[in-house]
Amino acid sequence: MNFFSAKLRPGSRAIVEPARPTDAEAIGLILSDWIDETPWMPRIHKREDEQAFARDLVARGWVIVARRCGRVAGFLARDGDDILALYVAAHARGQGIGKALVARAQKTTPHLSLWTFQFNDPARAFYEAQGFREVERTGGAGNDEKLPDIRYVWERPR
């Protein structure tokens, strides 16, 4: 199996591995919960649609998950060099889960890109701390939510 153990807080570990079909429900819940708890984020899809989206991402083989104590604590979905989604469950934030997922992606490719919303200050700070740099801003015409966004890229240092 293709996985590795990531050290998080002292005494804490997470296993980062490809998602299984049985993880789709937890992945959809993490995404839906983040939308519900983010005041500036409009809910434009039903929770059932987000579950279907999660199942599709997993079925395509695009998702890795971080597990703690056998439970999905976060996930990263990627199509080639494009990170499509990175979310960490509320109970696991600030513990290195996101960093472990990004580190895994960075090990497998020399280049990554992603979009995040301009309003998402915590995500922007996180990506910049992981070595991503801003390359483009838009008014949101290209995303479903129609919120201003930023494109970030990361290149492996030579």
Q: What is the CATH number of domain 4-155?
A: 3.40.630.30
CB atoms within 10 A of CB 78: 22
pLDDT confidence tier of residue 4, bands split at 50, 70 and 90: very low
End-to-end CA distance of the chain: 29
pLDDT digits (tens, 9 = 90+) for 45-93: 999 999 999 999 999 999 999 999 999 999 999 999 999 999 999 999 9
Give domain limits for the chain. Answer: 4-155
pLDDT digits (tens, 9 = 90+) for 93-110: 999 999 999 999 999 999
Q: CA triplet 115, 121, 127: central angle to 5 degrees? A: 50
Q: Which of 139, 93, 135 is nearest to 111 (CA)?
A: 135
pLDDT of the residue at 13: 80
The pTM (predicted TM-score) of the whole model is 0.90
